[in-house]
């Protein structure tokens, strides 16, 4: 592989805070449910030591975005979040335009907690609302109800000093077209910058996988997607990625850095990293169990992307960006494009799956994104 210049590649930080009140039956994220007194301190100490030991991966860069994800980060005290951000500030690791995002579950959304987050340095919050309809929340067996969803969106839409986003979900058992339309209309009635709209996927190793579920048929899913697009477009929200909708310039910088093939350092149990090291790309995964990570925060399971796997790895990310990426942007971000990638791109253009400009799927190529990505395997 061609020599890459790692110091030019933008770097993000992902901090995994693993605890949840209960496990949702559809979720296969790395979570634990029995947080005890003292666990937060022990985990944060491990994360701080992990960061201290990651200097070679950081390689004199500053983080362009920081993402507190979970699990349920909002189960963690402000004191601990403040300690983490202060450490990153003191170590001069935060870029001046850094987006610092924090995920909350609706039950923990209250003015006091959010003001504490803002005072600690958080400038974007993301609420896992899922739905405003009790029937959908009950099908998902969430631990919040429709009143919690409404209260949460009311509170965050009143904040204009920071960016806000919520998650909604579609394709849930029993969910009707009208129910989804209502969810999206409620979202549009509030002043929120961004929406992540996920289709429910049934992941192996989840409780739902073992159950016989009556999921909505393909036709209803397609109608839901069409209706969501119409309502969102007429409210100035545009899709810029598979599940991401935003008002102009309100994109998630953190997620865009993933899809632009930027680097990211992941700390916390089970966190993933992608780091460019001279002529190769190293992907790492931390130990998954909270106690194992606390005992050994440096240990990772590693995988190197080589010239055989590079094109597919790159296409899987770049092609998610709906408006495509120009070669100028790719060059600016220090991303390497191989000759074989360019050959496969030409094949995609001939098949009508890729656009002639930059790296971009055509509308048909975006509809059948997996096939388009597989051109690069
Ligand atoms: C892993 S959660 C973390 C944040 C927070 N705990 C929450 O539930 O919103 C992030 C988002 O992923 C969604 N998610 C998790 N598993 C999913 C699945 N199988 N299909 C669709 N969305 C899923 C959740 O509903 C949530 O909106
Ligand atoms: S969806 Fe969110 S709250 Fe539910 S188990 Fe997963 S991380 Fe926890």
Ligand of minimum distance to the alpha carbon of 32: 2
pTM of the model: 0.97
Give the dihedral of Cα atoms 251, 253, 256, 262; nearest 10 deg: 170
72 alpha carbon – ligand 1 mean position (Å): 10
Residue 321: the pLDDT is: 97
Is residue 110 within 8 Å of residue 155, measured between CB atoms?
yes
Is residue 169 within 8 Å of residue 200, measured between CB atoms?
yes
Is residue 28 within 8 Å of residue 205, measured between CB atoms?
yes
Average pLDDT over residues 58-72: 97
Q: Rg of the chain's alpha carbons, rounded to an integer?
A: 21
Mutate to test the pocket of ligand 1, among 27, 35, 148, 166 (most ligand atoms within 8 A of CB): 27
**pLDDT digit string (tens) for 299-357?**
999 999 988 999 999 999 999 999 999 999 999 998 999 999 999 999 999 999 999 99
Residue 204: the pLDDT is: 95
108 alpha carbon – ligand 2 mean position (Å): 13
Residue 2 has pLDDT above 80, yes or no: no
Is omega for the bond preceding 372 within 30 degrees of 0, making it cis?
no
Mutate to test the pocket of ligand 2, among 72, 105, 149, 208 (most ligand atoms within 8 A of CB): 72
Residue 215 has pLDDT above 70, yes or no: yes
Question: How many CB atoms sit inside 10 A of residue 45's CB?
Answer: 13
**pLDDT digit string (tens) for 181-207?**
999 999 999 999 999 999 999 999 999
Using alpha carbons, select from 230, 229, 251 the residue that is nearest to residue 240.
251
Q: What is the pairing mode between strands 163-170 and 63-70?
A: unpaired
Structure tokens at 342: 């360019």
Give the dihedral of Cα atoms 245, 249, 255, 259; nearest 10 deg: 90
To the nearest whole number, what is the mean pLDDT of the chain?
96
Residue with tokens 């559809």: 26
Average pLDDT over residues 295-302: 98
34 alpha carbon – ligand 2 mean position (Å): 14
Residue 222 has pLDDT above 90, yes or no: yes
Residue 280 has pLDDT above 90, yes or no: no
Residue 7: the pLDDT is: 87
Ligand of minimum distance to the alpha carbon of 201: 1
**pLDDT digit string (tens) for 18-62?**
999 999 999 999 999 999 999 999 999 999 999 999 999 999 999
Is residue 62 within 8 Å of residue 93, measured between CB atoms?
yes
Question: How many CB atoms sit inside 10 A of residue 239's CB?
Answer: 19
Residue 3 has pLDDT above 70, yes or no: no
Average pLDDT over residues 123-133: 98
Using alpha carbons, select from 86, 249, 113, 4 the residue that is nearest to residue 127.
113
Question: What does each C-alpha distance from 62 to 22, 58, 96, 238, 312 come to in angstroms?
Answer: 35, 8, 9, 30, 28
Residue 1: the pLDDT is: 67
Is residue 122 within 8 Å of residue 162, measured between CB atoms?
yes
- Classified as helix, coil or strand, 125 is strand
Q: How far is CA 370 from the centre of its chain?
A: 19
Structure tokens at 185: 């209309």
Could you tell me what percent of the chain has a pLDDT over 90?
94
Nearest CA to ligand 2 atom 6: 27
Nearest CA to ligand 1 atom 17: 27
Average pLDDT over residues 245-256: 95
Q: How far is CA 46 from the centre of its chain?
A: 23
Q: Is 104 in the pocket of ligand 1 (CB under 6 A)?
A: no
Using alpha carbons, select from 8, 18, 125 the residue that is nearest to residue 64.
8
Structure tokens at 50: 């992990």
147 alpha carbon – ligand 2 mean position (Å): 19
Structure tokens at 318: 């770049």
- The domain made up of 6-257 is a member of CATH 3.20.20.70: yes
Average pLDDT over residues 153-164: 96
Mutate to test the pocket of ligand 2, among 16, 19, 24 (most ligand atoms within 8 A of CB): 24
Ligand of minimum distance to the alpha carbon of 128: 1
């Amino acid at each position: 592989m061609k020599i890459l210049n790692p110091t030019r590649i933008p770097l993000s930080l992902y901090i995994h805070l693993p605890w949840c009140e209960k496990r949702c039956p559809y979720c296969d994220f790395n979570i634990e449910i029995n947080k005890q007194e003292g666990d937060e301190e022990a985990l944060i100490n491990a994360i701080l030591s992990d960061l201290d030991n990651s200097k070679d991966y950081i390689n004199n860069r500053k983080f362009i975005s920081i993402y507190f994800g979970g699990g349920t980060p909002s189960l963690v005290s402000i004191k601990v979040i403040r300690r983490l951000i202060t450490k990153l500030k003191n170590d001069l690791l935060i870029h001046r335009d850094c987006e610092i995002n924090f995920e909350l579950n609706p039950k923990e959304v209250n003015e006091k907690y959010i003001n504490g987050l803002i005072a600690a340095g958080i400038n974007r919050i993301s609420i896992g609302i899922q739905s405003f309809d009790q029937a959908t929340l009950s099908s998902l067996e969430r631990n919040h109800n429709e009143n919690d969803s409404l209260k949460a969106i009311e509170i965050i839409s009143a904040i204009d000093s920071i960016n806000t986003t919520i998650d909604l979900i579609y394709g849930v058992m029993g969910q009707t077209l009208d129910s989804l339309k209502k969810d999206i209309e409620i979202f549009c009635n509030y002043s929120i910058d961004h929406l992540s709209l996920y289709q429910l996927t049934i992941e192996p190793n989840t409780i739902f996988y073992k159950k016989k579920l009556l999921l909505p048929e393909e036709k209803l899913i397609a109608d839901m997607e069409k209706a969501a697009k119409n309502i969102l477009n007429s409210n100035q929200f545009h899709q810029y990625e598979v599940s991401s909708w935003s008002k102009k310039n309100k994109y998630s910088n953190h997620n865009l850095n993933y899809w632009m093939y930027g680097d990211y350092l992941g700390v916390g149990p089970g966190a993933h990293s992608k780091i460019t090291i001279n002529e190769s790309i190293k992907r790492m995964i931390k130990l998954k169990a909270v106690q194992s990570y606390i005992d050994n925060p440096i240990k990772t399971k590693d995988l190197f992307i080589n010239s055989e796997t590079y094109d597919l790895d790159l296409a899987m990310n770049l092609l998610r960006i709906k408006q495509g990426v120009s070669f100028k942007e790719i060059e600016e971000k220090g991303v390497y494009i191989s000759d074989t990638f360019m050959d496969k791109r030409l094949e995609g253009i001939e098949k009508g799956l890729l656009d002639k400009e930059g790296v971009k799927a055509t509308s048909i190529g975006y509809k059948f994104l997996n096939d388009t990505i597989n051109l690069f395997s």
